[in-house]
Structure 1
Amino acid sequence: MTDAKRPAGAVGWLGLLVIVALGINLRPILTSVGPLLTEIRDATGLGFQGASLITVLPVLCMGLFALALPWLGRWLGESRGMLGGLLAIAVACVWRLLLDSGVALIASAVLAGTGVAIIQALVPGVIKRWFPDRVPSAMGLYSASLMAGGGTAAVLAPIVAVRFEHWQSGLGIWAIPALLGIALWWWLRPREVQPNSAAPVGEHWFASRRAWLLALYFGLINGGYTSMVAWLPLYYRQLGWSAEGSGQLIGLMTIFQVLAALSVPLLIRGSLDRRPWLCLCLLIQLGGFAGLLLAPLQATALWVALIGYGLGACFALSLTLTLDHLPDPRAAGSLAAFVQGIGFIITGIIPYITGALRDLTGDFQASWLLLAVCVVLMLGVTLRFVPEGYARAMRGGA
């Protein structure tokens, strides 16, 4: 592809392909761990809280680096940021092929999480700029690819580990899609006139009450995902399931996450009010967590499917809701970076808390109850997002 410049908004299917390639690489570093956690703990001696750091620290990195985007963006730039992020993921995965200690595994998680953080902080602004009239559709496709990458890794990681006879291979093979993503970004991304910085100078949101509300909302509405990735396979391993069977539960959850992300643009077509659909999807999540609490071995697939659909729709809807608040692509991208920054810190802490509850109580029932309570609280918060109030809220109103 030539470097001919094209205006923002003229991006076609090649741009969508690049977005999909980026999304696919953002979750395998998390989801490949859960199905192999028994083998990892046996080999490294990590406890539940120590093992939770493999999930918690990358998600915290996602938050911290997103918050630093207004400063890092001026130095790093969008293209270098994307390439550097993909390279960090690839290097971390190759490192995982060679490591044999818990400390090294946690360190590789931090490196990979840094790469993921940079990419996903930049993607919403790219989508808003490349697809100004198709934000919900592009965001849905991005969310679906992100979740599909995570689910594929959860299903294939134990299969690869068995095939190559050591658990490290199930974690390290995900360097391949990262390297493919580097090639696609380098060769296929739309060339366009764009600013030198990845975030607008001076656009910081720490003083905005609405930005903080959106960030807390994003973190709590999506908090179930990291806990499911960290603990659902292990939960069913302890109930007698195999590594492959427990990993397939994440795969099933992912199928419904993808279906939800792809269906969101159809659901919200013609309306700027996201509240009815957010409430519906939160109730669907709640039904799934209630099932895990009350009947985990009966209708397991139904509970996991409900959780997956609810989480998948909430992720896409909550990011779309954030972008709806501002018409300018750069400002909206900066707001989305802040929301993801605070939100992913919250989301990263949740599996640590649920793991600690498991250590304290001896089972995961208290963990599932905590997630259900968070969903109920977010139902109340959802009612505050009235479209007619976006402009006033961003000017400093309630």
Structure 2
Amino acid sequence: MSTGKARVGWIGLLVIVALGINLRPILTSIGPLLAEIRQATGLGFQGASLLTVLPVLCMGLFALALPWVGPRLGESRGMLGGLLAIAVACAWRLLLDSGLALIASAVLAGTGVAIIQALVPGVVKRWFPQRVPAAMGLYSASLMAGGGTAAVLAPVLAGGSGHWQLGLGAWVALAVLGLLLWALARPREAAVPSVARRGEHFFGSRRAWLLALYFGLINGGYTSMVAWLPMFYRQLGWSAQGSGQLIGLMTIFQVLGALSMPALSRGSADRRPWLCLCLLIQLGGFAGLLLTPLGLPAAWVALIGYGLGACFALSLTLTLDHLAEPGPAGSLAAFVQGIGFIITGIIPYVTGWLRDATGSFQASWTLLALSVLLMLGVTLRFAPAGYARAMHGWRGAQTAEVAR
């Protein structure tokens, strides 16, 4: 490797996995314990939705601020600070007993998650320039695996101890492990580039806004599933553990989707056929929830999970495909995640409002199915031959990647 480059092998992949696995337990541990949390704190459905909405909004707002905050923060300090915020928030959750404190811990943890996931795409593009789809797939799979593990184990930990707080706070151990791996084991570089050039942004790029809208809507199903799927089935008579296991099943198929679809599509620069396939798979799952939720619940959840996992990995890879240089590509990914996560964070609030307004989750699932149909149409816009033209003229423009 050339001077200044890290010697990235399996240890680099391990660090990426350790980062990813910390980014969802703060969200997914809530749903299976929502009945207990609401009973103990008095939170309503819309108040409880803030436990998902606020962290996701934090993810979006920090990513948008990256061009201004990033050069001052630095990549290493940013990663360490993000992991520390997650660790402190989880430790706090072991002790809290009020809805306000729980919401505040969600904001703190969400800020930590925001910092890390705004920085990861640039790290992946730099460490694995020839293996971006595979590395992004592994990162996405680890992110989802962490979320699914928390959803399954949270009610087990809470039931075994008699304290719902343990189900929310035990994930401090993962954050501490991530801190140690980033501090001690990450691949070293002679000179780490700035995480973003000061003032470099994509607010004037129509393609960047389209990618952001696409990312936000395509992932809105995930936050809604995490927030409301366990409660939906608990209202149908399921236990906390059984409803949490549905999130675990969804996660297994998310991981399969995140790993398999980037691998299957790696020989093609055109992500559109694969994205359309995965959106149709999601649509089948939402149709099942609407028409016969108790008929084949495992099948519907598996379809939704596979489609969501594959779409998350492919949509991030699609974003990185638009620019060849790691720095600008990372900045574009930060912008897309910034706007996208704000949209993604609003969706469970809207679906929660629909549940309150109608007394049923059917309207919520209908909205998600309609958003999938909309994204099928948008997917057709992303022809690889048009990447250079679509990115022409953005502020601080770099050479766009043109599909061969």
Question: TM-score, normalised on structure 1?
Answer: 0.97
What do the CA deviations read for 1:298-351 (whole angstroms, capped 9, x no partner)? 010000000000000000000000000000000000000000000000000000
The answer on whether the counterparts of 1:6 and 1:190 sit within 8 Å (CA) in structure 2 is no
Residue 360 of structure 1: SS of its match in structure 2? helix
Matches within 5 A, 1:161-172: 161-172=158-169
Residue 94 of structure 2: SS of its match in structure 1? helix
Q: Within 1, Cα distance between the matches of 2:340 and 2:263?
A: 26
Matched residue, 2:398:
none
Task: Decide which of 104, 109, 132 is 1:135's aligned counterpart.
Answer: 132
Gap runs ≥5 in structure 2: 395-404
Partner AA of 1:161 in structure 2: A
Matched residues, number = 394
Matched residue, 1:197:
194
Matched residue, 2:402:
none
What do the CA deviations read for 1:14-53 (whole angstroms, capped 9, x no partner)? 0000000000000000000000000000000000000000
Matched residue, 1:184:
181
Q: Structure 1 residues 263-272 or 58-67, which shifts more?
A: 263-272
Are positions 1:37 and 2:37 aligned together?
no
CA-based RMSD of the aligned residues comes to 1.3
User: Once the two structures are aligned, what percentage of the paired residues are identical?
Assistant: 81
Q: Which runs of 4+ in 1 moved over 2 A?
A: 5-10, 193-197
Relative distance call for 1:262 and 1:7 in structure 2 (3 A) is farther
Question: TM-score, normalised on structure 2?
Answer: 0.96
Relative distance call for 1:207 and 1:238 in structure 2 (3 A) is same
Residue 68 of structure 1: SS of its match in structure 2? helix
Task: Decide which of 139, 153, 162 is 1:156's aligned counterpart.
Answer: 153
Residue 327 of structure 1: SS of its match in structure 2? coil
Matches within 5 A, 1:212-361: 212-361=209-358
Q: Within 2, Cα distance between the matches of 1:285 and 1:193?
A: 44
The answer on whether the counterparts of 2:96 and 2:102 sit within 8 Å (CA) in structure 1 is yes
Gap runs ≥5 in structure 1: none
Q: What is the CA distance between 1:8 and its match in structure 2?
A: 3.1
What do the CA deviations read for 1:244-273 (whole angstroms, capped 9, x no partner)? 000000000000000011102321121100
What do the CA deviations read for 1:123-181 (whole angstroms, capped 9, x no partner)? 00000000000000000000000000000000000000011111000001000000000
Q: What is the CA distance between 1:202 and its match in structure 2?
A: 3.0
Partner AA of 1:353 in structure 2: V
Residue 134 of structure 2: SS of its match in structure 1? helix
Q: Within 1, Cα distance between the matches of 2:129 and 2:190?
A: 15
Matches within 5 A, 1:60-209: 60-195=57-192, 197-209=194-206
The answer on whether the counterparts of 1:95 and 1:172 sit within 8 Å (CA) in structure 2 is yes
What do the CA deviations read for 1:338-374 (whole angstroms, capped 9, x no partner)? 0000000000000000000000000100000000000
Partner AA of 1:115 in structure 2: G
The answer on whether the counterparts of 1:6 and 1:191 sit within 8 Å (CA) in structure 2 is no
The answer on whether the counterparts of 1:160 and 1:170 sit within 8 Å (CA) in structure 2 is yes
Partner AA of 1:122 in structure 2: L
Q: Within 2, Cα distance between the matches of 1:8 and 1:43?
A: 52
The answer on whether the counterparts of 1:9 and 1:131 sit within 8 Å (CA) in structure 2 is no
Q: Within 1, Cα distance between the matches of 2:389 and 2:44?
A: 48
The answer on whether the counterparts of 1:253 and 1:305 sit within 8 Å (CA) in structure 2 is yes
Relative distance call for 1:97 and 1:6 in structure 2 (3 A) is farther
Residue 98 of structure 1: SS of its match in structure 2? coil
The answer on whether the counterparts of 1:9 and 1:132 sit within 8 Å (CA) in structure 2 is no
